[in-house]
Amino acid sequence: LEDFAHQNGIPAGTRGERSAALDHGTMLPLLFVNEAYTEYKLVRTGLSGLSVADHYRFGMCIRAAAERLGKKVVLIASGDLSHKVSAEGPYGYADEGVRFDREITQAMASGDFLKFLSFTPEFAEKAAECGLRSCVIMAGAFDGIDVVSELLSYEGTFGVGYGVASFLPKGENPDRRFLEKYLAQEEARMRDIKDNEDDYVKLARYSVEHFVRTGKR
- Tens-digit pLDDT profile for residues 125-163: 999 999 999 999 999 999 999 999 999 999 998 999 999
Q: SS3 of 216, please?
A: coil
Instruction: Give the pLDDT confidence score for residue 13 in this predicted structure.
Output: 66
Angstrom distance (rounded) from CA 203 to CA 7:
38
Angstrom distance (rounded) from CA 187 to CA 179:
12
Q: Is the pLDDT of residue 47 over 90?
A: no
Q: Is the pLDDT of residue 20 over 70?
A: no
Instruction: Give the pLDDT confidence score for residue 190 in this predicted structure.
Output: 79
Q: Is the pLDDT of residue 40 over 80?
A: yes
**Candidate ranges 6-10, 55-59, 188-192, 194-198; pick with highest mean pLDDT:** 55-59
Instruction: Give the pLDDT confidence score for residue 202 in this predicted structure.
Output: 84
Phi, psi for residue 147 in degrees, rounded to 5: -130, 150
Strands (E), the chain: 145-155, 162-172
pTM of the model: 0.81
**In Å, how far are 62, 113, 114, 212 from 76, measured between CA atoms?**
12, 15, 19, 40
Instruction: Give the pLDDT confidence score for residue 7 in this predicted structure.
Output: 79
